[in-house]
Structure 1
Amino acid sequence: MRRFTRMFATAALVLATVAGTAGWAAGDSQNAVTGPPPGTAAWRADTARGRPLPDPVDSTPAELARFFAALDGPTRERLLRTHPLVVGNLDGIPPHLRYRANRAAVLATGEARYASLAAPGRRILAFDPRGRGQVAEVFGDLEGAAHVAVVVPGSDNDASRHDAPRTPATGPAGMARALRAAAGADTAVIAWVGYTTPVGVGVDAAGGRLAEAGAVRLARFTRGLDAAGAPDPALFCHSYGSVVCGLAARHTDATDVVALGSPGMRADTVADLGTRARVWAGRGPSDWIADVPHVRFAGLGHGADPISADFGAHPLPTSEVRGHTGYFAPGTRTLAALARIANGSTR
């Protein structure tokens, strides 16, 4: 009887948190955007000098890399021009080709909310206009970098809001810019909004459905970096993004996994993540995420607190962090610590 009492009490606590804990808000249920990129049907019907094109879903990033490496220049250019939304989202092929393809894809949408992504000098590594839109942007020279970091954000992020005005050093792009500036020129940082994030902090944010879909996409994205010759990445995972990273960790070759303002990683300990990466965790003193119960019941909640001693993550200095989004604020000891992880100084 006591066991069931505890179970129902846990369920009530999680549901109460979703309904009204400080900092949480009602959210609309989202449909995860998955599957092949737009334009895949036309791609599958095309050929390269009579040879079938590799399937965007069934081909591994390594296979895609080998296919593009074997193409002659004119054929590569024709595919880029004819199928920009597919080429721009093929994990594993050279980043400079993806930048060009995605600029063309953004321009082809004709949508004002995406127009700034096509500005000269932007390095858009992935772009998918379906739903609220997904995007990945590179800050720095990915093809020449000695170190790579990937920022994985949480709720309320998408391609349509990628360039929305924000407080400096917040949001995926702001975090990535701040981290790159602190880490140095030989580190490339990617703002990866490559999954459907929750809107608000309702049942979607309390559940793992969107994180599970995102983890599959993040794991493939990191395999694409490897196939393109990039260094193994460090993952910087904020808020709900840390749930995504927790589920993806065992399927990536990440050197480090950093959980910031995390509601949990769907694991009880670092060992349960199944990764060889070093795992770090930090939470600021005024971050409202501290009020979220670290439990799991009936699919709700994300489990143990990553900053607890029992979880086993390396601690980060976070005494200067303000609120839920202040982890990348310039001049703080927190950002300096994150930069050392990103540029390999702690290895």
Structure 2
Amino acid sequence: MNLRDIARWDTSALQAVQRSLSARLATIGFVQDRLADIGRLPTWQADAADAARRRFRIAADDLTGEVAAITVVERLIREMVDAVTHLQAELDGLREAAAAHGMALSDNGDIIDAPGPTVDAAAARRDELRAAARALILQAEDLVADAAAVLTRAADGATEPGETDRPGTGLSAPAPPPDGSPLDNREYWDALPAAQRREVIEQHPEWVGDCDGIPSAVRHEANVGRFDDERSRWEEERARIRERLDRNRFGGAFTDDDAALWYAEQKLRDLGDLEKLVRDHPDGRLMLLDLQSGERTMAAFALGDPDTADHISVTTPGIDTTVASLRGMTDEAAALKAETERQLDLAGRTGETVSTIAWLGYQPPATTGPGNYDVPFLDQNLGRGWLVDSWQSDRATAGAPKLASFYDGLDVASQKPDPHITALGHSYGSYTQGLALQDPGPGQPVDDAVFYGSPGFDANDESDLGLAPGHGFVMRAHDDPIAVVDGFGRLGPDPVQADLEQLSVREATTPDGVRREDADGHSEYPRPSGNGELRTSGYNMAVIVAGMPELAIR
């Protein structure tokens, strides 16, 4: 299949076939009814009548088989009409977009320069068009394969009455491309017709719930729909582990079963916490739900619609953050969103929208639990566990590519031409954030970054982070114990010595006339103070998320 084949698909011919099959079904139905009526004649008796009835039953059985085959094919044709109509509309849109940028689509999905005056077309636009074109070709090939399978079953007489009521007997949705980029994922979704999108959400939610580039509303619906299955999975896993422990005379002394049981029970508690979070924030979006790939649950929750927001922030937390912490993070995200919107209103930019996201898509070091990196927690601020875990780098190294992909997914899923994205990183999360901004790739979409309470982020200035000059910021409280870790330089230069702009966290009256409290210690930066107002540090984050760093307090 190629783009020319898609364009030349004759939906009118398909519709004519569908009408013919529908008429055939109506005719067969009429014949079946008449045979049944004749067979029920009460005055028709004797051996000849019995023989005739037997022949009628044979004929009726033959017609039933034919009805099953025709019904399946008729349904297939209807689905094909919808799918092909969708593909052709998408193709027309791609060709118009390509022409607007002085380009054209070749039949195999490559991008070529169109005849006429040269138009400056960014490489990103070429990549986007190429990914979209190839997604259409893959979808067309999948349609052809599905149709061939259905027609073969019908021709072989393998169809059965009622088969059309079962899933998987007509066109079926393909899975997303393996290891696809966020752009590949978005184009995959765009290429699916409405019926197949619904099939994916209802039957294969795991395909899209954690898939960067897929619309946030789709991810939310898919993830929420997985709650019951995940609970059943982990209840069964817990029962299996308990059974193994009960059979083992030494308990968990010589196995990892006791640790596995601890994590299984924790994941069940995490599910309960996430369900409550979703109930309490019906307008929120659960953009990530991963209970399989790590010891601890990973999740991300958005307030506001990131697909339509003008300004998006993503907060990456640090040590000891778990799903149980997401409620507090979401409360902080709500306060940040409200303050950002307030600052936009004061600036006369009331039409601009905001989405704030709490991202726990990696496994931060922890000081509780039986995992390899979980060590005894001796002191909330300066304990051995806190410091040792602050120096570990592999958790951040593993999480950074996921965070970079999440940023990219927000950008490609956005309905805005260029959404303003701000990265906010706290503590160990700031180190993960710094690595994510340096993730090798076609270029990260983050516009501004704030590192607060940071032990380091392995960079000296904005150029190291893919940011424009003046768009990287650091905040640290004078009594933040993270400074003890900074002094070793294990995770890069001391942030307050880097060539990023240092913002104040001290008590101040901000340009909006609000008197704001300072941030003390390691955790107060994003939290409202006792009077309900964000502290100076939180205000600074809000004006940067709003795209107004000139209002920040230095």
TM-score normalised by L of structure 1: 0.77
Of residues 41, 57, 69 in structure 1, which corresponds to 2:190?
69
1:189 partner amino acid: T
Kindly report structure 1 stretches of 4+ aligned residues shifted beyond 4 Å: none
Matched, 1:49 2:171: yes
Gaps of 5+ in 2: 1-166, 232-267, 342-351, 368-385, 507-517
For residue 421 of structure 2, what is the aligned residue in structure 1? 233
The SS at the match of 1:126 is strand
| Contact 1:294–1:305 (Cα < 8 Å) also in 2 | yes
Q: Which moved more, 1:225-234 or 1:332-341?
A: 225-234
Of residues 431, 450, 454 in structure 2, which corresponds to 1:258?
450
1:172-220 Cα deviation digits (max 9, x unpaired): 3233222112111721000000101001325443021111111100111
Of residues 519, 525, 528 in structure 2, which corresponds to 1:321?
519
Per-residue deviation at 1:160?
4.6
| Contact 1:85–1:128 (Cα < 8 Å) also in 2 | no
1:241 partner amino acid: G
Per-residue deviation at 1:346?
2.3
Per-residue deviation at 1:73?
1.5
2:176 partner amino acid: P
Matched, 1:303 2:492: yes
2:361 partner amino acid: G
State the alpha-carbon separation in 2 of the partners of residues 124 and 246 from structure 1: 24
State the alpha-carbon separation in 1 of the partners of residues 486 and 410 from structure 2: 35
Of residues 332, 336, 343 in structure 1, which corresponds to 2:539?
336
Per-residue deviation at 1:78?
1.0
Matched, 1:114 2:239: no
Q: 1:158 to 1:86 in 2, by over 3 A?
A: farther
State the alpha-carbon separation in 2 of the partners of residues 136 and 94 from structure 1: 14
Q: 1:346 to 1:275 in 2, by over 3 A?
A: closer
For residue 221 of structure 2, what is the aligned residue in structure 1? 100
Matched, 1:221 2:406: yes
2:309 partner amino acid: A
| Contact 2:300–2:359 (Cα < 8 Å) also in 1 | yes
| Contact 1:85–1:101 (Cα < 8 Å) also in 2 | yes
Q: Which moved more, 1:116-125 or 1:214-223?
A: 116-125
State the alpha-carbon separation in 1 of the partners of residues 181 and 324 from structure 2: 29
Q: 1:100 to 1:266 in 2, by over 3 A?
A: same
State the alpha-carbon separation in 1 of the partners of residues 461 and 403 from structure 2: 21
1:49 partner amino acid: L
Matched, 1:283 2:476: yes
The SS at the match of 2:199 is helix
For residue 34 of structure 1, what is the aligned residue in structure 2? none
State the alpha-carbon separation in 2 of the partners of residues 100 and 293 from structure 1: 41
Q: 1:226 to 1:274 in 2, by over 3 A?
A: closer
For residue 182 of structure 1, what is the aligned residue in structure 2? 339
State the alpha-carbon separation in 1 of the partners of residues 226 and 454 from structure 2: 34
1:65 partner amino acid: R
The higher radius of gyration belongs to 2
State the alpha-carbon separation in 1 of the partners of residues 325 and 229 from structure 2: 19
Q: 1:68 to 1:290 in 2, by over 3 A?
A: same
Q: 1:232 to 1:101 in 2, by over 3 A?
A: same
| Contact 1:106–1:115 (Cα < 8 Å) also in 2 | no
State the alpha-carbon separation in 2 of the partners of residues 192 and 106 from structure 1: 19
Q: 1:250 to 1:275 in 2, by over 3 A?
A: farther
1:233-278 Cα deviation digits (max 9, x unpaired): 1001000011011111134221111100000112344443344371
1:269-322 Cα deviation digits (max 9, x unpaired): 4443344371100101221112224334xxxx21211112xx111111112102
Q: How does 1:1-16 map to 2 (within 5 A)?
A: none
Q: How does 1:165-180 map to 2 (within 5 A)?
A: 171-180=328-337
Instruction: Give RMSD over aligned pairs.
Output: 2.3
| Contact 2:420–2:547 (Cα < 8 Å) also in 1 | no
Gaps of 5+ in 1: 1-45, 164-170
State the alpha-carbon separation in 2 of the partners of residues 197 and 264 from structure 1: 15
1:318 partner amino acid: V
For residue 396 of structure 2, what is the aligned residue in structure 1? 211
Which is bigger in relative contact order (C-alpha 8 A, separation at least 6)? Answer: 1
How many residue pairs get matched? Answer: 288
State the alpha-carbon separation in 1 of the partners of residues 171 and 324 from structure 2: 37
2:500 partner amino acid: A
| Contact 1:106–1:127 (Cα < 8 Å) also in 2 | no
| Contact 1:133–1:160 (Cα < 8 Å) also in 2 | no
| Contact 2:438–2:464 (Cα < 8 Å) also in 1 | no
The SS at the match of 1:292 is helix
Q: 1:273 to 1:141 in 2, by over 3 A?
A: closer
| Contact 1:172–1:193 (Cα < 8 Å) also in 2 | no
